[in-house]
Amino acid sequence: MKVGIIGTGYVGLPTGVGLAELGHDVVCIDAVEEKIAALKAGKITLFEEGLEELFHKNAASGKLRFTSDMKEGVQNADVVILAVGTPPHPVTKEADMRYVHAAARELALHLTGYTVVANKSTVPVGTGDAVEKIIREVNPAADFDVVSLPEFLREGFAVHDFFNPDRIIVGANTEKAANVIKALYAPFGEKAHMLFVKRRSSETIKYASNAFLAMKIHYINEMANFCEKSGADVYEVAQGMGLDTRIGAKFLNPGPGYGGSCFPKDTNAMAYMAKGYGVEMSLIETTIRKNDARKVEMAERILKATEGIENPKIAVLGLAFKGGTDDCRESPAMEIIAALLKHKVSITAYDPKAMDTAKKLVGDQIEYAADAYEAAKGADVLAVLTEWVDFKSLDLAKIKAALKSPKIVDLRNLLDKSEAEQQGFDYQGIGR
Ligand code: NAD
């Protein structure tokens, strides 16, 4: 099938690469010309495990092409996928729909034959109707259907998740459109786990899922606070809870609060939408408020470890919002750094993949090190803020020799607590 994908970011690029690998003819479209120029020149524009190899393979075979020309990407396509950003409005926190609406207007003129416009961006309920209306207004003669096709990939596992989807939710209002999406994923065979629902249900499923996961994280973080006071170990508690299949073991890892480009914006967008319908979402509202507060509390923990030291030097390990990605959008690490910078401190940070993206956000307000040991050099405390596996195998003796005082605040419980204590560190984790 011929597929056009509008938006070549963390969703659009892995989706394009994945669909090309499944055998489709894919054209990835992006408004940012430098991005397209880089991709055309064979330079991948974001980090995802396993993506680069498949990107080169499919670009070389001609199955995967790139353009900034909407017409080139959309004409003759059987399916046009919208994967543009829906960032939070800076004041209301509702989903900002300007990119989706603009893309709908731009693609409308170039539709040829029957086309399914599939919306992968995370969008408020009713967006399918709005996109349909825009396309109809711009091009009354167009033959098309709009479906909701929400994306559930986890950054850091995007390639794995594309090829091993837990579920593919399709919100199609016509059988014809549903059949086109079935054909798109037909190469998966039984693995596809497709669920066909009303378009508005599909749009809701995405927000309902992310808000639920965010609440689960908030829940275990509050349990971690309780364990710290009560003498229990949150890992043992989570393990015991997770054995109950009704609860499930996943998303019970305590940490500095959730972040990233999805959970904060999607919980806020869900709460905003519910308000519009006059529906109370007390659990989601509380989760948002407490999760925001948690970043500041985490910064205070780090500052406490440097109490009495004038202008302390803090070594930060990890800037990305989680391990396995270079994405720093709403990263807890970045928010903790922002809270720390309100005090007289100096920070030297290291991240295996996210130094460049972080630099765009905090610039020279902090220093950047070439590795964890350089970051630790002369620091009064080492703070672990992102769960990169690389940090698990740090040589703690070398870290101790680099630090001014052997203190670790491990907000991801990544390092081996007993080994750190044996080495003479004052080690503080979460919830134990
Ligand atoms: P992103 O910012 O990484 O990428 C969006 C891309 O769209 C950018 O490259 C931008 O230049 C391009 N774009 C915007 N307007 C355009 C236009 N009119 N024409 C062509 N290109 C245009 O965003 P993302 O992280 O890939 O997220 C995209 C959507 O998917 C969002 O709604 C997000 O909530 C949702 N989502 C993201 C994830 C994730 O893990 N990142 C997971 C599931 C769902």
CA of 83 to the centre of ligand 1 (A): 5
Tell me how far apart the alpha carbons of residues 110 and 88 are, in angstroms, rounded to a whole number. Answer: 29
The domain boundary residue, chosen from 261, 291, 321 = 291
Determine the pLDDT at residue 133.
98
pLDDT digits (tens, 9 = 90+) for 250-264: 999 999 999 999 999
Res. 271: pLDDT tops 90 = yes
The domain boundary residue, chosen from 162, 177, 197 = 197
| Same domain, residue pair 167 and 212 | no
| Same domain, residue pair 237 and 363 | no
Quote the pTM value. Answer: 0.94
- Ligand 1 atom nearest to 266, measured from its CA: 34
| Same domain, residue pair 300 and 397 | yes
Indicate if ligand 1 lies below 6 Å from the C-beta of 102: yes
| Same domain, residue pair 57 and 177 | yes
- When divided into structural domains, the chain yields a total of 3
Cβ atoms < 10 Å from Cβ of 95: 25
Alpha helix stretches (DSSP H) within 330-429: 332-340, 355-362, 372-376, 396-402, 417-422
- Ligand 1 atom nearest to 122, measured from its CA: 32
| Same domain, residue pair 102 and 182 | yes
Residues acting as catalytic residues? 262
Indicate if ligand 1 lies below 6 Å from the C-beta of 9: yes
pLDDT digits (tens, 9 = 90+) for 326-384: 999 999 999 999 999 999 999 999 999 999 999 999 999 999 999 999 999 999 999 99
Q: Is residue 342 part of a domain?
A: yes
Indicate if ligand 1 lies below 6 Å from the C-beta of 29: yes
* CATH code of the domain containing 74: 3.40.50.720
CA of 13 to the centre of ligand 1 (A): 9
Q: Residue 378 belongs to what domain range?
A: 295-428
Share of the chain above pLDDT 70, in %: 100
Beta strand 143-148 with 367-368: parallel, antiparallel or unpaired?
unpaired
**Mutational pocket test of ligand 1: of 13, 15, 30, 69, the residue with most ligand atoms within 8 Å of the beta carbon:** 30
Supply φ then ψ for residue 384, to 5 degrees.
-95, 115
Residue 236's pLDDT band (boundaries 50, 70, 90)?
very high
Tell me how far apart the alpha carbons of residues 100 and 195 are, in angstroms, rounded to a whole number. Answer: 24
For residues 135-158, average pLDDT: 97
Q: Is residue 222 part of a domain?
A: yes
CA of 130 to the centre of ligand 1 (A): 18
| Residue 33 burial (C-beta neighbours within 10 Å; 0-12, 13-18, 19+) | exposed
**Tokens 């991801």 appear where?**
412
Determine the pLDDT at residue 195.
97
Res. 192: pLDDT tops 90 = no
CA-CA-CA-CA torsion for 17, 44, 106, 147, nearest 10 degrees?
30
| Same domain, residue pair 327 and 248 | no
Residue 191's pLDDT band (boundaries 50, 70, 90)?
confident
Share of the chain above pLDDT 90, in %: 99
Q: Is the separation of the CB atoms in 320 and 336 below 8 Å?
A: no
| Same domain, residue pair 354 and 232 | no
Res. 190: pLDDT tops 90 = no
| Same domain, residue pair 118 and 267 | no
Q: By alpha-carbon position, which residue is closest to atom 3 of ligand 1? A: 9
Q: Is the separation of the CB atoms in 423 and 401 below 8 Å?
A: no
For residues 410-430, average pLDDT: 96
* Three-class secondary structure of residue 32 per DSSP: coil
Return the beta strands (E) in 71-111 as ranges: 79-82
